[in-house]
Amino acid sequence: MATDVLDVIRTKRDGGVLSDEQIRFFVEGYTAGTIADEQAAALCMAILLRDMEAGELATWTRAMIESGERLDLAGVGRPTVDKHSTGGVGDKVSLVLAPLVAACGAAVPQLSGRGLGHTGGTLDKLEAIPGWRAELAVDEVVDQLRDVGAVICAASAALCPADRKLYALRDVTATVEAVPLIASSIMSKKIAEGTGALVLDVKVGSGAFLPDLDRARRLADTMVGLGQAHGVRTVALITDMDAPLGRACGNGLEVDEAVELLRGGGPPDLLEVTLALAREMVALAGLDAGPDPADPAAALDDGRALAVWEAMIRAQGGDLDAGRPMATVHHDVRAPAAGYLRRLDARSVGVAVWRLGAGRSRKEDPVSPTAGAVCLRKPGDRVEAGEPVLTLHADGQDRLDAALAALDGAVEVGDEPPEPRPLVVERIS
């Protein structure tokens, strides 16, 4: 067994292949606290720059799973299926998807995370609801899946503790984009949580961690392979993230838009992506066959999904009747000319929202439930010169300048509308 963490870092820094012993030594040591954050950060950066081979990644993922306990969902009484997104701007799909698929007859154990970089975190969004709890005991998770059908919560401290530490570290060390670290982080948690099936939403475009289609495809292939190897039926959809998804970006604003969709409204792009993922989940759970196949669109239209949402939020202490604070400062970003909105850059909007306070610079930072942005126009819309395209929401004037700097060049207007981009780019199974 290797005993020198510097040797582990040097091996990967110099382009070498980490041995199984080195990987287990590092994961066990970092989990136990005998390896320091700065040493782990150095190894994460080396992996980002040097990559990992398939054998290394398999061992790394296995070590992450074995760093803690595994959840047993055999007693929930429904087929289990989960979904994970690699993160985007305005991506509040999980808030709708978990209750929607539960309304179709599945159990959805969604162990979610907090914001990483310029993208929002599902737990940060839900914590905008007064009283809502992210931290649940294992028996609470199982009981809620049995009674309600859906749960969105933080992974317990006993589940993949190695990932819990590395996830927060990556956010503040510019190593979020490393494909092996993304794949192992997502799949170790999903395998450990005990779900029988998994649908992955791999984002591509300017607002994604992996803007390039080839790298997004590689990540999707890698994760599908890891899932299948561990007995989890896994499918991936590659979806577009060149512009924000929906109109709301920011924690509380996204909760409001998710509820709007559950009530039969909401933006059409958000609806399309949500239903595409829901249909994949229903199929993997085996609920799309037989004399009465589940139909996610019907469950959305007839109010069943909304009822599950309300039950899910209340089960975790959320007060759906309580008023929420609102941002005190609003600022419109206006169209520079008349014509068609050709581009509203998702990454720029995400960085602006992060700077407004919806994201964190350090892993211990709080996030604002009210900060964010609302897209008043989307690419392809006709705009007039000076017309508001984006409204920024902030808790104080002091954050506006940095947010506006992030949006420099993000709004592009031209004489012709842009070529339409498919929202679902590819399916990988």
Are 40 and 169 in contact by the 8 Å Cβ rule? The answer is yes
Which of 85, 94, 185, 188 is flagged as catalytic? Answer: 185
Concerning whether 163 is annotated as a catalytic residue, the answer is: yes
Q: Which one of the listed residues 189, 190, 217, 347 is annotated catalytic?
A: 189
* Token code pair at residue 354: 């992060």
DSSP structure string for 155-171: PPTTSSHHHHHHHHHHH
Active site residue 170: yes
Contact 317, 378 (CB under 8 A): no
CA distances 31 to 95, 140, 160, 395, Å, are 30, 25, 9, 37
Candidates 62, 84, 114, 355; catalytic one = 84
- Helix (H) or strand (E) segment spanning residue 11: helix 5-13
Instruction: Say whether 381 is catalytic.
Output: no
DSSP state of 107: B
Give catalytic status of residue 185 as yes or no. yes
Secondary structure (H, E, C), 250-299? CHHHHHHHHHHHHCCCCCHHHHHHHHHHHHHHHHHCCCCCCCCCCCHHHH
Catalytic residue, chosen from 91, 163, 201, 269, is: 163
Q: Could you give the C-alpha distances from 330 to 160, 191, 260, 327, 370, in angstroms and in order?
A: 40, 43, 22, 7, 11
Q: Active-site residues: which are they?
A: 84, 163, 170, 185, 189
